[in-house]
Amino acid sequence: MSEPKVIRGKAYILGDDIDTDQIIPAEHLVYSLDDPEESKKYGSFALSGVPLAQAGLPEGGTPFVKNGGWQSTFRIIIGGKNFGCGSSREHAPYALNKAGALAVVATSYARIFYRNSINGGYLIPATSREDLSRIYRTGDEVELDTVGGVVRNISQGLTHELVPLGDVAAIIEAGNVFEYAKRMGMIATA
């Protein structure tokens, strides 16, 4: 499944250095990724490691997923620098995707989080030229245009330029790295 070229939804704001333990705490890595019911637990616990005082910055106290649920009402996460730092677990972008997030917009990423997001087809990791986590607010209606290379804050009437996706755009369009490899004839198809 290829990703949409324009994603619209509510924004969830985080700060700098959001690590993979904050995205999906290690104690929740016991659930099966392949079992449809059990894998919902990853959505339930997405961003549960973020201290509540920082959750949904700048206000704080806004949970990403409401207690008892596994789907979030937020589709686009706005972060600062070094998003996804920490351990290299692919469960982090998976958990955000399972909760319903489709993209992250940050000023920079930990390399392994960035690649896991793209390779698994979990999230679009868009890179902003300025720190939008200091401008946008949790709940703002946001539109991410991956082809046009901009993010629009509909609620505030703002538009911000993104760094072009470059070579990873083709992998995102294919859906994940394996589908891309099949399209390019790198992997034989059955």
135 within 8 A of 107, measured Cβ to Cβ: no
pLDDT of residue 163: 97
Whether the per-residue pLDDT at 123 is higher than 80: the answer is yes
148 within 8 A of 102, measured Cβ to Cβ: no
DSSP summary character for residue 172: H
Mean per-residue pLDDT of the chain? 92
DSSP summary character for residue 138: T
pTM of the model: 0.92
Residue with tokens 């619209």: 8
CA 86 to chain centre: 16
pLDDT in tens, 39-93: 999 999 999 988 766 666 666 678 899 988 999 999 999 999 999 999 878 899 9
- As assigned by CATH, the class of the 6-183 domain is alpha beta
- How long, in residues, is the chain? 190
